[in-house]
Structure 1
Amino acid sequence: MKYIYVLIPVILIGIYAFNFANVKLTSNKTNLYDFIVTDLQGNKFDFSTLKGKKILIVNTASKCGLTPQYKELQEIYSTYKDSHNFVVVGFPSNNFLFQEPGNNKKIEKFCELNYGVTFPMMSKIDVKGKDQAEIYQFLTHKKLNGFKDSKVKWNFQKYLIGRDGKLEKIINPKTKPNDASIVSWITK
């Protein structure tokens, strides 16, 4: 029985390492402002237009137990966008138990009708695995972001980007967007 306590961490480390080994890095960008992505309407979204802002990037899903976080994301965006030069950017993803099955039009309609989302929402992407989007390669690999390696654990994981375009914090999916740790980061 005592060997199981040694074996579990070894297995978890192996799974973690496999997830990073499974992703072929296609990005060489080391600053968020280098990225141009596509929004839900099919328009180009250039992160360089956000220079000087604090940015919260979040992977979203419409059929998840954490989906009500859209409400808090919209609240902090509305509260701090002007007074603290802050923006939320959402990336829908279907990587966790098929919890974002809709296409971009359905996702946009869902966000507007159910949560009144006005913050920028991007096209649906993969946030992990062999087809991981380039921007999530940046967010999850220290080699690119200069901060730390991470794994997207679930829907609504938050990445906090400073005014210089560099990754500063990674926030657990279950931590609500209006948590004191996030609000204090926005307002400091």
Structure 2
Amino acid sequence: MGATSSVYDNSSVHDFTVKDSSGKDVDLSIYDGKVLLIVNVASKCALTNSNYTQLTELYRKYKDKGFVILAFPCNQFLKQEPGPIEATVQFVCERFSAEYPIFGKVKVNGTEAAPLFKYLKANGGGGYMGTTIKWNFTKFLISKKGKVIRRVGPRTEPSSLEDDIQKALEENPNENSV
């Protein structure tokens, strides 16, 4: 994966600071010891209803066990997240009863891509998906130690990750696992 990968080899998701939907800094180290599902989301995508519905279901089922979804709105794909962030948050909370954090809008590809997404792409085992994010609702499952466990594409339903989420929640973060 070249230089991009080597820049982030020794870091984890917990080393990044991102902006919340109010523009305030959030140090992702607050999620140390939690299993995360990081998703680039959009409100006007054909995948919106199924993904947001299942994300809410997964969050409700596992939030008390140490699972958190981090949603990052992105307008890079056919401008499917066009409005202000406040409208996005209102839409997701009212329509899908989202209780998980929704962050400020990000770019996930290109030179202006958010550093977190550069890290995720470099360490997400791109395989056939490559090192770019192809569309809205690409999902990254993150271990309690902040390392990428699995990356799945937009058409992979969030519910299909349930077994992996359960396994990650059961892992002891002090062992030599990811």
Provide the TM-score with structure 1 as the length reference: 0.79
Matched, 1:163 2:144: yes
Partner of 2:173: none
Pairs within 5 Å for 1:58-77: 58-68=39-49, 69-77=51-59
Which of 44, 47, 50 does residue 25 from structure 2 map onto?
A: 44
Post-superposition offset of 1:28: 4.2
In the alignment, the residues of structure 2 paired with residue 117 and residue 41 of structure 1 have an alpha-carbon distance, to the nearest angstrom, of 16
What is the percent sequence identity of the aligned residues? Answer: 38
Matched, 1:133 2:114: yes
Partner of 1:148: 125
Partner of 1:3: none
Question: Can you list the C-alpha shifts for 1:11-53, whole angstroms capped at 9, x where unaligned?
Answer: xxxxxxxxx99xx96x945211111111112222221011111
Partner of 1:109: 90
Q: How many residues align?
A: 159
Provide the TM-score with structure 2 as the length reference: 0.83
Cα RMSD (Å) of the superposition?
1.9
Secondary structure of 2:158's aligned partner: coil
Question: Can you list the C-alpha shifts for 1:66-106, whole angstroms capped at 9, x where unaligned?
Answer: 011111101101100113x1110000000101101011111
- Structure 2 unaligned segments of length 5 or more: list them: 168-178
In the alignment, the residues of structure 2 paired with residue 92 and residue 28 of structure 1 have an alpha-carbon distance, to the nearest angstrom, of 25
Matched, 1:186 2:165: yes
- Structure 1 unaligned segments of length 5 or more: list them: 1-19
In the alignment, the residues of structure 2 paired with residue 157 and residue 148 of structure 1 have an alpha-carbon distance, to the nearest angstrom, of 13
Query: Is the CA contact (8 Å cut-off) linking 2:14 and 2:146 kept in structure 1?
Result: yes
Matched, 1:97 2:78: yes
Secondary structure of 1:178's aligned partner: helix
Matched, 1:53 2:34: yes
Rg: which structure is higher?
Answer: 1
